[in-house]
Amino acid sequence: MPQAYDLVVIGAGTGGYVAAIRAAQLGLKTAVVERQKSLGGTCLIWGCIPTKALLEHAHALKIIQHAADWGVSIANAQPTLDITAVHTRKDKIVTGLTKGVESLFKKHGIAWIKGTARLTGQGSVSVTGPDEQTLQANHIIVATGSSPRSVPGITIDHQRVTKRFT
């Protein structure tokens, strides 16, 4: 017997998780199907947020390198960058945000179904993966988000140039 929901959202990126949370706030029994290891999609996991965190590090380094312009003296100090620490901080930021989305799902009673969704007609969604099942929905939102776009003249050959979506 399929699990029944008022709304099934396919994809837990910024469009999908926001729609799911709002639907649950309005009283709809809601489920989200997502195959990634965490909620948040490209923006939270690989794109916008990690990039902004790395840019913050670059900005901090630039400020330190030009401290004298700010009237700050750092006697005989040569700034260095610990790339492991940089990535640790970036990962901590990403984890905090994705766990925050997960917490909102729990707070609002949204079912996170891990796997890949396939529309099978008449409000039915088949999920394959670790949580294989069939869902029945009054409404379905397809929020599958982004896909990588190559830079003109550069081909993703999966040897020298790869994409990090698995």
The band of 164, judged by pLDDT with boundaries at 50, 70 and 90, is low
The band of 163, judged by pLDDT with boundaries at 50, 70 and 90, is low
- Asked if residue 97 belongs to a domain, the reply is yes
- Asked if residue 27 belongs to a domain, the reply is yes
The pLDDT value recorded for residue 165 is: 46
The pLDDT value recorded for residue 155 is: 76
- Sole residue written with tokens 């039915």: 124
- Asked if residue 50 belongs to a domain, the reply is yes
Residue 47: name the closest of 145, 114, 143 by CA: 145
Find the domain containing 7 and state its range: 3-142
- Asked if residue 157 belongs to a domain, the reply is no
The pLDDT value recorded for residue 153 is: 80
Contact call for residues 135 and 124 (beta carbons, < 8 A): yes
In whole angstroms, give the CA distance from residue 120 to residue 114: 18
- Mean per-residue pLDDT, 15-21: 97
What residues contact residue 116 under an 8 Å CB cut-off, 6+ apart?
33, 35, 127, 128, 129
- Mean per-residue pLDDT, 6-23: 97
- Asked if residue 123 belongs to a domain, the reply is yes
Q: Is the pLDDT of residue 166 over 50?
A: no
> How far apart, in Å, are the Cα atoms of 66 and each of 9, 69, 72, 80, 86?
48, 6, 9, 13, 20
Structure tokens at 47: 């794109």
Structure tokens at 68: 């004298």
Q: Is the pLDDT of residue 160 over 70?
A: no
- Asked if residue 162 belongs to a domain, the reply is no
The pLDDT value recorded for residue 96 is: 96
CATH of the domain at 93: 3.50.50.60
Contact call for residues 45 and 36 (beta carbons, < 8 A): yes
Share of the chain above pLDDT 90, in %: 69
The band of 152, judged by pLDDT with boundaries at 50, 70 and 90, is confident
What are phi and psi for residue 36, nearest 5 degrees? Answer: -70, 165
In whole angstroms, give the CA distance from residue 149 to residue 45: 17
Among 44-48, 93-97, 149-153, the range of highest mean pLDDT: 93-97
Query: For the chain, what is the domain count?
Result: 1
Q: Is the pLDDT of residue 23 over 50?
A: yes
The CA angle 31-48-11, to the nearest 5 degrees, is 20
- Asked if residue 67 belongs to a domain, the reply is yes
Question: Which pTM value belongs to this model?
Answer: 0.80
- Asked if residue 93 belongs to a domain, the reply is yes
